């Protein structure tokens, strides 16, 4: 059994993916400015999960290209949704290895990132990730 916040994240991910089922490559790359395209959103969520659960928590960045292509404040791009879904799945699988081990004690851990004056609590990061999925799910439905 997972921590309830991890279950909420799993649910949020599944709704995000369900919301883009059947979107073809051409439609996934179409931008309606100022919004990013759907394929970018998929890659962006892969980037965010990688940044939190792999880079920030574990010091790993298996897909550094995501930082440049779909990271926060990166220039607009229209990547392949097929590639972004593949990358998203890889990041999710690796992130789950960490997330599935979280319990009440671990969820309260405070991360101190060298060179960053802020601290981050794992539980707050989980909530931020959940809300981020819902934000982009709504945005994708608008497109």
pTM for this prediction: 0.93
Residue 42, pLDDT > 90, answer yes
Share of the chain above pLDDT 90, in %: 80
98-133: per-residue pLDDT in tens? 999 999 888 888 877 777 778 889 999 999 999 999
Could you tell me the domains of the chain?
4-19+30-142 (1.20.120.450)
Are the C-beta atoms of 130 and 5 separated by less than 8 Å?
A: yes
Task: For residue 12, give the nearest of 44, 45, 36, 37 by alpha carbon.
Answer: 45
Sign of CA dihedral 21, 23, 29, 33: negative
Residue 55 and residue 106: Cα distance in Å, rounded? 17
Q: Is the peptide bond before 34 cis (omega within 30 degrees of 0)?
A: yes
């Amino acid at each position: 059994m997972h921590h309830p916040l991890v279950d909420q994240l799993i649910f949020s991910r599944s709704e995000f993916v369900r919301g883009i089922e059947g979107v073809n490559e051409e439609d996934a790359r179409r931008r309606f400015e100022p919004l990013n395209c759907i394929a970018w959103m998929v890659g962006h969520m892969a980037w965010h999960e990688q940044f939190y659960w792999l880079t920030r928590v574990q010091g790993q960045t298996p897909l550094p290209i995501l930082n440049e292509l779909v990271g926060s404040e990166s220039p607009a791009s229209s990547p392949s949704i097929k590639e972004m879904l593949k990358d998203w799945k890889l990041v999710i699988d690796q992130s789950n290895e960490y997330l599935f081990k979280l319990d009440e004690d671990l969820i309260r851990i405070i991360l101190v990132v060298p060179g960053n004056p802020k601290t981050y609590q794992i539980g707050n990061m989980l909530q931020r990730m959940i809300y981020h999925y819902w934000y982009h799910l709504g945005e994708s439905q608008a497109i």
